[in-house]
Amino acid sequence: MTGVFFLAVLAFSCEKVPVEPDTPEPNPVEIDIPGADSNILIMKVDYQTFQYEGYTTVNVDSTNDSSDTIPFMATYCPPCDFGYIKLFYENPNHLLFYGSIIWSGCGNLHFPTSFMELPAQSAGPSYPGNDRVCFIDISGAQQTLPWEHGIVDETMIENVWETISKQPEFQHYYSKTNKKVAVFLYTPSVGGGNPADWDFIIFVEKE
């Protein structure tokens, strides 16, 4: 009897206990970013609502210099009635932006004209201030923040950053550059202009 009990205990003790298989770590999701191979990212954000309006990319012959700013060159025609602003990467062979400006009317964005949008992420890099952000005026010159005589202040730029920093395309480009993010205010309507027509245009150069 004792031997039977011993065998029963031995059989029970040797019974296999089901083991849950190891759950593999999920692979990081790589987001396909159209234009990720280009070296200039251009983004558009509404001036009043800070609503994201999409992005596009442009390829230029990068200078690869040691400067921490994008080398803008500008051509500006003041809107006595009809004017425009063109922004180039270093020289007129590399157009980055072209928008008309109308006095007591509203101009149009001529380049770029096609913008796309990807799903936003939940969070992005925190706002770095003047260390990594600059404002570009109509001459193409860099200005520290705040700027633009009350039309743009640093709180507005922080709101712009809050919008763009969640975009995967911005995160991709921003992680691959030491140059400052450049912010330009496009005002197609002036004089009796309507701020509802205005947009922030943001440039990021990937090195």
Predicted local distance difference test score (pLDDT) of residue 29:
44
- The answer for residues whose C-beta is within 8 angstroms of residue 180's C-beta and 6 or more apart is 68, 69, 70, 131, 132, 133, 134, 142
The CA distance from 69 to 90, in Å, is 11
pLDDT tens sequence across 156-186: 999 999 999 999 999 999 999 999 999 999 9
Instruction: Domain count for the chain, please give it.
Output: 1
Count of CB atoms situated within 10 Å of the CB of 72:
20
Residue-range definition of the domain harbouring residue 84:
37-58+68-205
The answer to whether 145 and 130 have CB atoms below 8 angstroms apart is yes
**CA 164 to each of CA 37, 66, 133, 189: distance values in angstroms, whole numbers, following the listed order:** 19, 25, 12, 24
Residue 200 domain-assigned (yes or no): yes
The answer to whether 203 and 88 have CB atoms below 8 angstroms apart is no
Average model confidence (pLDDT) across the chain: 85
What pLDDT band is residue 72 in, cutting at 50, 70 and 90?
Answer: very high
Predicted local distance difference test score (pLDDT) of residue 28:
41
Q: Which residue has the tokens 């983004």?
A: 43
65 has pLDDT over 70: yes
pLDDT tens sequence across 115-153: 999 999 888 999 998 899 999 999 999 988 666 567 888
DSSP 17-53: PP-PPPPPPPPPPPP--TTTTSSEEEEEEETTT--EE
Residue 164 domain-assigned (yes or no): yes
Residue 42 domain-assigned (yes or no): yes
Residue 187 domain-assigned (yes or no): yes
Residue 22 domain-assigned (yes or no): no
What is the DSSP pairing of strand 181-186 with strand 199-205? Answer: antiparallel
Residue 185 domain-assigned (yes or no): yes
Predicted local distance difference test score (pLDDT) of residue 147:
65
5 has pLDDT over 50: no
Predicted local distance difference test score (pLDDT) of residue 154:
87
Residue 14 domain-assigned (yes or no): no
Residue 5 domain-assigned (yes or no): no
Q: Which of 14 and 23 is assigned the larger pLDDT? A: 23
